[in-house]
Structures are given as C-alpha cells and as structure tokens.
Chains A and B, each alone.
Chain A
Amino acid sequence: DTGVSQDPRHKITKRGQNVTFRCDPISEHNRLYWYRQTLGQGPEFLTYFQNEAQLEKSRLLSDRFSAERPKGSFSTLEIQRTEQGDSAMYLCASSPITDRVISTDTQYFGPGTRLTVL
C-alpha cells in the first residue's frame, strides 16, 4: 500500500513564473486536500476535493491559485505569477470516506513540495 506521493519534491522558480504541482493520493481515497506550511507554522488549509468536485476553498486561495482533480484520482495545484510570499511547503493529503455522519476522516499526508520563489 503506497502512501500519498507528490511531485516535484523541490521547485525553485523566479518571481512571476507559473508553477504546477502534482499529488497522487492513496489508491481509492475519495477525499484529497491541499495545505500550505511555512517555517514555524502548522499547515494551513487551502482546498479540498471529494472525487472530482472541489467542495471547499480557503480565502487563502487567491485568484492566482487553481486546483483540479479531473478524474477523481490525482490532483494538480497551479500557482500563476508567483510571488516571494508563495515560498512554502505545499502538502497534499488524502482520506477515505469512513464516517459520513461525524466526518472525522484521518488525513494521510504526502512528503510535500517545497517551493522557493526568488
């Protein structure tokens, strides 16, 4: 049983460039989440998919950010016109649907993509 994988693991880009990250969830996990983590902080929620539907978006997710999960499997997170403030670790997590009432699924995290914007 492989875990959540993310690609690339590191990305260095110049301000103003576009970047795209990929996340492959654990097989058959219906839910997929993106978080951003900066140094000294806990992860901050960005967005969440159930299958291919994007059901929640944080106000942190500005117009320059877009996420997709076209076939309900892997997901991509694109950042357009990157800014230095976008430098962070971008974490992806996935979870199965275990409890439809209480909705307390355990989220399993990938290794993250570390973005550095110069």
Chain B
Amino acid sequence: EDKVVQSPLSLVVHEGDTVTLNCSYEVTNFRSLLWYKQEKKAPTFLFMLTSSGIEKKSGRLSSILDKKELSSILNITATQTGDSAIYLCAVYSGAGSYQLTFGKGTKLSVIP
C-alpha cells in the first residue's frame, strides 16, 4: 500500500525563523510529488516536483525532491504569521492512476 509520511506533525516558530518540512514516500511507480497549503478550507497548490523538475522556488518558499532518498523538503524562510497553516504533501503513483495519496500534513504555527 502506498504511504506518504510527513514530519514533524506540528511545529511552532517565531516570525522571521526559517522552517523545513519533510515528506517521505513509499509508493509504486512514483510519478510526481505535490505540496499544498491548507488554511481554514481548500488546499491551495504550491509546487509540483517531478523527475524533470526536482527543485522549485516561489518567493520565500522552495522545495526539493530527492528521488534517491524518496523524499522532499519544503523550506520557508523569514516566516510570517500568514504562513500559519497545514502543509500537505501528496504523491501521484501507480500506472495510469489519477488519485493523489496525501500525508497527514504538518501544522505550522508562526507566532509574532
């Protein structure tokens, strides 16, 4: 059975800190890994990482895929209170399957 594991499950930091969130996966026929940010409601898309695009960056957020270690990290620099959210990692796997397998998420709290 496909598994996606995120760590830590929760994290409290002060504004301005840099954080690293981890995602590891054990899946059959890995295709891509996606990061989402979930506040009160809908998960919003952040990044997609594939074999041909293992590093992405947008402003203070960046993500790297390590296919050898079967893992990914999401970095947030100079954190702000608006970064407080649950960060979800999800993987496309299998042959011809369109379902995403999600981890449980990392709950990030940024305090002033």
Interface residues of A (CB under 8 A from B): 3-4, 31, 33, 35, 40-45, 48, 50, 55-56, 58, 91, 102-112
Stretch in contact with the other chain, from B12-20, B59-67, B74-82, B101-109: B101-109
Most chain B CB atoms below 10 A, which of A45, A107, A110, A112? A107
Q: Which residue of chain B has the shortest Cβ distance to A58 in the bound complex?
A: B99
Partner of A42, one of B32, B50, B88: B88
Partner of A56, one of B31, B45, B99, B101: B99
Q: How far is the CA of A33 from the CA of B42 in the complex (A)?
A: 14
**What are 16 A-B pairs at a CB distance below 8 A?**
A3-B42, A4-B42, A41-B104, A42-B88, A43-B102, A56-B98, A56-B99, A102-B31, A103-B96, A104-B48, A105-B98, A106-B45, A109-B42, A110-B42, A111-B41, A112-B41
Contact string, B40-52, partner A, CB cutoff 8 A, digits 1/0? Answer: 0111110010100
Q: How far is the CA of A4 from the CA of B36 in the complex (A)?
A: 16
Q: How far is the CA of A56 from the CA of B105 in the complex (A)?
A: 24
CB contact under 8 A between A42 and B99, given known A104-B31, A106-B45, A112-B41: no
Chain B contact-residue range equals 20 to 34
Name the distance in Å between B59's Cβ and chain A's nearest Cβ: 18
Q: How far is the CA of A66 from the CA of B64 in the complex (A)?
A: 38
CB contact under 8 A between A31 and B98, given known A91-B42, A103-B31, A112-B41: yes
Q: Which of chain B's residues have a CB closer than 8 A to the CB of A50?
A: 98
Q: Which of chain A's residues have a CB closer than 8 A to the CB of B104?
A: 40-42
Q: Which of chain A's residues have a CB closer than 8 A to the CB of B41?
A: 111-112
Q: Which of chain B's residues have a CB closer than 8 A to the CB of A112?
A: 41-42
Name the distance in Å between B65's Cβ and chain A's nearest Cβ: 12
Please tell me if the beta carbons of B100 and A45 are within 8 angstroms of each other in the complex. yes
